[in-house]
Structure 1
Amino acid sequence: MKKFIEEFKSFALRGNVMDMAVGVLIGGAFTSIVTALTTNFIQPILDVVTGAKTYTLQDVAGFGTAFISAVVNFLITALVLFILLKSINKLMSLSVIKKKEEEEAAPTTKICPFCKSEISIEATRCPHCTSELDK
């Protein structure tokens, strides 16, 4: 079960999945802007032009506030997503840095100064040229 959770975490936090999730959320928020624009500006203009309905000044003022509300909701959603992604990217970069530090362990080999062969770090004599090595 632990391996399954690790695999899911790496899948979910991959760039493509995160980009797709952001796209879906921004698309949903932008839909409300388009709906508000259509309902509050384009439809009333068509109603007046076709003579289907007449509007008072109070009605027109209400249309503007609904559209502004949709725009503010979109901006808040975009800001929250930006902060969320920025923090996830920061956490991911910290975990990558930590893994790289763990991988960069102490060397296990060294180069013989006489014959330039690769030998064990603990060797006191080179197995190739039998030279005595400094500790």
Structure 2
Amino acid sequence: MSNYLKEFKAFALRGNVLDLAIAVIIGAAFNAIVQSFVHDMVMPIIAAIFGAPDFSAITVTINQTPIMVGLFIQAVVNFLIVAFVIFSVVHLLTKLKKKEAEKPAAPILPTKEEELLTEIRDLLKTN
């Protein structure tokens, strides 16, 4: 049992697992920001354009069953905003990595031994 716990500890403390945990926490916080932005800012504007004071109340009733069209549209807007932000971040990171890859490598300077051997070679050529 202790070997199992050691393996779990090694797994849990690996860099990828910690990075993933941090990403999930930041993603949840970002999701709350996007939901607030969509619900409190974007959807009232859309509701004002379409004349509905509460956009989430827009429904279609089929056989006395309400279909929440407004909530679905709100979820689509949430998704589009999150997708756009993720695309923008990935695009920026790709651009930065490409710039780093395009930078020429620093020229390799010869070692002192190589410099001495070059001087000896040049002296032998002149003599």
Q: TM-score, length-normalised on structure 2?
A: 0.43
Q: Which has the higher helix share?
A: 2
Q: TM-score, normalised by structure 1?
A: 0.41
**Larger radius of gyration, structure 1 or 2?**
1
